């Protein structure tokens, strides 16, 4: 069995901006993939030494430790406010807020909308997996109609629980944001497109252009009771119907 | 076809199987090996088929795969 | 020193700027609005950051971010708004971040009213947020002292890496008095903060968090914090005494009530009752020791508050049965006159006299 990489050139190596820590995520979870994409873009833009990662409460609570960048852990839902505080006093830093759907679209909705509306020069990475993963699979503001969760065991009933919130479309109604997009990760092509969107978002921040928001449709194999491969197929077939992919704002 | 290889960090692999499903050439398989966390580890079961395309690494959620490819021989 | 006529709200804002505060995040609420408005006007002039936040919750979390980035930062509010800040204060205590929070307190609970009150003593001194933490609490009784204590709050918060609160009230915030403003500190000369978020350039990354999943790790963090709290208790207790040397009745009062109590001492003495006053300046750390020492020789320790009785619990802990510890309070934003309190003082002195003469109290 050939295992030597001598005489070969690297096609894909671990980004330098990633720390050595092993992710605490479940097998197949897209959080790890998004973390890798961020680290790769940080490497490409050469901003590792001036990036600050703002981690949420939720499955990504350790997000500040995955990077070889300064990091801060915010209270549940408050990441955009914390990012605002950092960026306003240190505009030279690249401030990235990494948040899940419960954090960003439920408890932190006010902070999310107002940071966007002020045009804070930060980048928000929104991981939309339609469920509260860390707490065991409860209904999220983004849970699909009919989707089962531990706090809606019969499936989300829109008569009682309303409909999934489309954050990208909602923020796209505001004047200030310079970039608002929704991406997915269910196959290599979409992984590359997500990478491109993250690159654009961080580039706009580096250029001082303004607020950027990248919503990423992510899986939660554990919470959805699916295998990782099934979960990815579910995103392609079902989730993208409720959350259309695309760039909603691009003022770059 | 160029020749390549995927180097799998067996301690980072969680056996999610997304790389297996993504590899266009059927290079990777679970061969019954487990790492110290108890996860099945993806293996280069058919190394001769690897072209070094890098798709397995691209989709790996645990950044457990590095991919290398032979330099193109100058014509 | 520069002398100006200012409201308490303005004086605290200007003192903060002079102390090197370069970020302010706030939300409108009466009776502290002038502080926010002063900062909106002045902060840009000194090159700092000002944001009118979408809520008190957002404001304190902006403080969290700015403090994590190593800048002297302040927020201000009034009672209901300070309740909302308590989440962020707990997180900042847990992440060892300095911040100055001004509470221009008002009547409560709930929406209450906008008149001066001291009902937030428990919230300020006993951990209004969740978890095991302490916050330095400074209680000014004049506009001039409000300015001085605001500056002190920044120094103490930085020195011990803790949140510090200036607990004023609606009367102090709104009244105008002459203030001696301290000179501007050179922000560059402040002690460096190597733990701050500044970009991991040529060093390992800095992480700011209040999170430690392993109970032994969290215990260790809490133990280190406890050690700092003990240092604060040992070195930072501040109080003022007025004519305590020969007092037969000791008044204990802080803030606006402390100021009124000074007048009561003068009136009582004019009428032949030897009253004295101990005015706590730091509510945490509380002057337990000084009160205990005085209670060994003063038979009546009368606590006077604009509440149904909060600080009186600390006074009784300090006295530990050495003296009588009656309480007099007004509530709901009602401020008693010196004459109202004087009646209390005289009644207790009289009762004491009867008791000593062998007359059983009624």
Token representation of residue C358: 């062998």
Taking CB atoms and an 8 Å limit, are A93 and C198 in contact across chains?
A: yes
pLDDT, residue B2, reads: 79
What CATH number is associated with residue B62? 3.30.70.20
The chain A residue lying nearest B58, using CA atoms, is A188
Taking CB atoms and an 8 Å limit, are A1 and B5 in contact across chains?
A: no
Beta carbons of B2 and B68 less than 8 angstroms apart: no
**Local confidence band at A2 (pLDDT 50, 70, 90 cut-offs):** very low
Full set of structural domains in chain A with CATH: 30-250 (3.40.50.970)
Alpha-carbon gap, residue A247 to A182, rounded angstroms: 6
Residue A220: list chain B partners with CB under 8 A.
Answer: none
pLDDT, residue A5, reads: 74
Alpha-carbon gap, residue C71 to C23, rounded angstroms: 7
- The closest CB to that of A82, out of C61, C87, C199, belongs to C61
CB contact, 8 Å: C199 with chain A? yes
pLDDT in tens, A128-143: 999 999 999 999 999 9
pLDDT, residue A183, reads: 98
pLDDT, residue B73, reads: 58
pLDDT, residue C2, reads: 80
Class of domain C2-235: alpha beta
For residue C123, count other CB atoms closer than 10 A to its CB.
23
The chain A residue lying nearest B20, using CA atoms, is A229
pLDDT in tens, B17-64: 999 999 999 999 998 999 999 999 999 999 999 999 999 999 999 999
Give the number of domains in chain B.
1
pLDDT, residue C362, reads: 44
pLDDT, residue C357, reads: 65
Alpha-carbon gap, residue A71 to A17, rounded angstroms: 12
Residues of chain A with a CB closer than 8 angstroms to some CB in chain C: 19, 48-52, 54-55, 61, 64-65, 67-75, 78, 81-90, 92-93, 110-111, 113-114, 118
pLDDT, residue A1, reads: 43
- The domain segmentation of chain C, as residue ranges, is 2-235, 240-356
Mapped onto helix, strand or coil, the DSSP state of residue B8 is: strand
Taking CB atoms and an 8 Å limit, are A11 and B52 in contact across chains?
A: yes
Residue C48: list chain A partners with CB under 8 A.
Answer: 89
Alpha-carbon gap, residue C342 to C275, rounded angstroms: 10
Token representation of residue C284: 């945490």
pLDDT in tens, A171-217: 999 999 999 999 999 999 999 999 999 999 999 999 999 999 999 99
Task: Judge if C2-235 and C240-356 fold alike in CATH terms.
Answer: yes
Range of the domain at B8: 4-69
The chain B residue lying nearest A28, using CA atoms, is B16
Q: Does domain C240-356 have CATH number 3.40.50.920?
A: yes
Alpha-carbon gap, residue C257 to C306, rounded angstroms: 7
Q: What is the mean pLDDT of chain A?
A: 96
pLDDT at A3 > cutoff 60: no
Residue C209: list chain A partners with CB under 8 A.
Answer: 55, 64, 71-73
Q: Is residue B29 in some structural domain?
A: yes
pLDDT, residue C361, reads: 45
pLDDT at A104 > cutoff 70: yes
Average confidence (pLDDT) per 10 residues, chain C, 362 residues: 92 98 98 98 98 98 98 98 98 98 97 97 96 97 98 98 98 97 95 97 96 96 98 98 97 98 98 97 98 97 98 98 97 96 93 66 44
Taking CB atoms and an 8 Å limit, are B66 and A36 in contact across chains?
A: no
Alpha-carbon gap, residue C180 to C4, rounded angstroms: 7
pLDDT, residue C355, reads: 65
Beta carbons of C64 and C88 less than 8 angstroms apart: yes
Residue A235: list chain B partners with CB under 8 A.
Answer: none
Taking CB atoms and an 8 Å limit, are B17 and A229 in contact across chains?
A: yes
Closest to C56 measured CA to CA, from C81, C36, C78, C79: C81
Q: Is residue B74 in some structural domain?
A: no
Beta carbons of A155 and A147 less than 8 angstroms apart: yes
pLDDT in tens, C308-357: 999 999 999 999 999 999 999 999 999 999 999 999 999 998 887 766 66
pLDDT at A6 > cutoff 80: no
Burial class (CB in 10 A: 0-12, 13-18, 19+), C240: middle
Q: Is residue B48 in some structural domain?
A: yes
Token representation of residue A92: 């030279």
**Local confidence band at A4 (pLDDT 50, 70, 90 cut-offs):** low
């Amino acid at each position: 069995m050939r295992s030597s990489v001598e005489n070969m050139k690297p096609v894909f190596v671990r980004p330098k901006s990633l720390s050595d820590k092993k992710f605490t995520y479940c097998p197949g979870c897209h959080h790890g993939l998004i973390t890798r994409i961020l680290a790769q873009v940080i490497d490409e833009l050469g901003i590792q030494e001036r990036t600050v990662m703002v981690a949420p409460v939720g499955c990504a609570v350790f997000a500040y430790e995955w990077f070889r960048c300064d990091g801060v852990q915010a209270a549940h839902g408050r990441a955009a406010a914390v990012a605002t505080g950092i960026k306003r006093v240190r505009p030279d830093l690249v401030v990235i807020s990494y948040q899940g759907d419960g954090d960003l679209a439920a408890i932190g909705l006010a902070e999310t909308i107002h940071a966007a509306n002020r045009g804070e020069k930060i980048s928000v990475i929104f991981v939309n997996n339609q469920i509260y993963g860390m707490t065991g699979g409860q209904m999220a503001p983004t849970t699909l109609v009919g989707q089962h969760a531990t706090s809606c065991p019969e499936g989300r009933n829109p008569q009682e629980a309303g409909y999934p919130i489309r954050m990208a479309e909602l923020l796209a109604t505001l004047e200030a944001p310079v970039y608002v997009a929704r991406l997915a990760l269910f196959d290599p092509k979409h992984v590359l497109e997500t990478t491109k969107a993250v690159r654009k978002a961080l580039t706009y921040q580096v250029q001082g252009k303004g607020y950027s928001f990248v919503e990423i449709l992510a899986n939660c194999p554990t919470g959805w009771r699916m295998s990782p491969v099934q979960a990815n197929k579910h995103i392609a077939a079902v989730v993208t119907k409720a959350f259309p992919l695309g760039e909603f704002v691009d003022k770059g | 076809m160029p020749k390549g290889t995927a180097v799998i960090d067996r301690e980072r692999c969680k056996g999610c199987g997304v790389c297996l499903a993504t590899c266009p050439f059927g290079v990777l398989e679970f061969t019954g090996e487990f790492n110290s966390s108890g996860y099945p580890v993806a293996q280069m079961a058919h190394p001769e088929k690897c072209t070094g395309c890098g798709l397995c690494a691209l989709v790996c959620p645990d950044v457990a795969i590095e991919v290398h490819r032979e330099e193109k021989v100058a014509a | 020193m520069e002398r100006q006529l200012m409201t308490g709200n303005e004086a605290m804002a200007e003192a903060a700027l002079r102390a090197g505060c370069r970020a302010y995040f706030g939300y409108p609420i009466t009776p502290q609005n002038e502080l926010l408005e002063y900062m909106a006007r002045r902060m840009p002039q000194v090159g700092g950051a000002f944001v009118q936040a979408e809520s008190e919750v957002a404001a304190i979390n902006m403080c969290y971010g700015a403090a994590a980035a190593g800048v002297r930062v302040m927020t201000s509010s009034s009672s209901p708004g300070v309740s909302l800040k308590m989440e962020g204060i707990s997180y900042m205590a847990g992440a060892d971040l300095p911040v100055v929070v001004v509470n221009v307190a008002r009547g409560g609970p709930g929406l209450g009213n906008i008149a001066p009150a001291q009902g937030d003593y428990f919230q300020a001194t006993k951990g209004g947020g969740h978890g095991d933490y302490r916050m330095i609490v400074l209680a000014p009784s004049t506009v001039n002292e409000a300015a001085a204590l605001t500056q002190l709050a920044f120094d103490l918060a930085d020195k011990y890496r803790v949140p510090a609160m200036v607990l004023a009230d609606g009367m102090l915030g709104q009244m105008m008095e002459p203030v001696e403003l301290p000179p501007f500190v050179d922000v560059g000369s402040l002690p460096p903060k190597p733990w701050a978020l500044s970009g991991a350039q040529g060093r390992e990354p800095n992480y700011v968090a209040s999170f430690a999943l392993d109970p032994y790790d969290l215990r260790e963090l809490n133990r280190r914090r406890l050690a700092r709290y003990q240092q604060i208790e040992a070195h930072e207790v501040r109080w003022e005494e007025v004519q305590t040397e020969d007092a037969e009745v000791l008044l204990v009062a802080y803030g606006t009530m402390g100021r009124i109590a000074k007048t009561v001492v003068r009136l009582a003495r004019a009428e032949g009752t030897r009253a004295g006053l101990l005015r706590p300046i730091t509510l945490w750390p509380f002057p337990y020791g000084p009160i205990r020492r005085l209670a060994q020789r003063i038979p009546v320790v009368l606590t006077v508050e604009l509440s149904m009785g909060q600080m009186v619990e600390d006074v009784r802990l300090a006295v530990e049965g050495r003296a009588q510890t009656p309480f007099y309070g007004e509530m709901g934003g009602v401020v008693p006159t010196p004459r109202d309190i004087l009646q209390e003082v005289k009644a207790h002195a009289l009762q004491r006299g009867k008791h000593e003469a062998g007359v059983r109290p009624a």
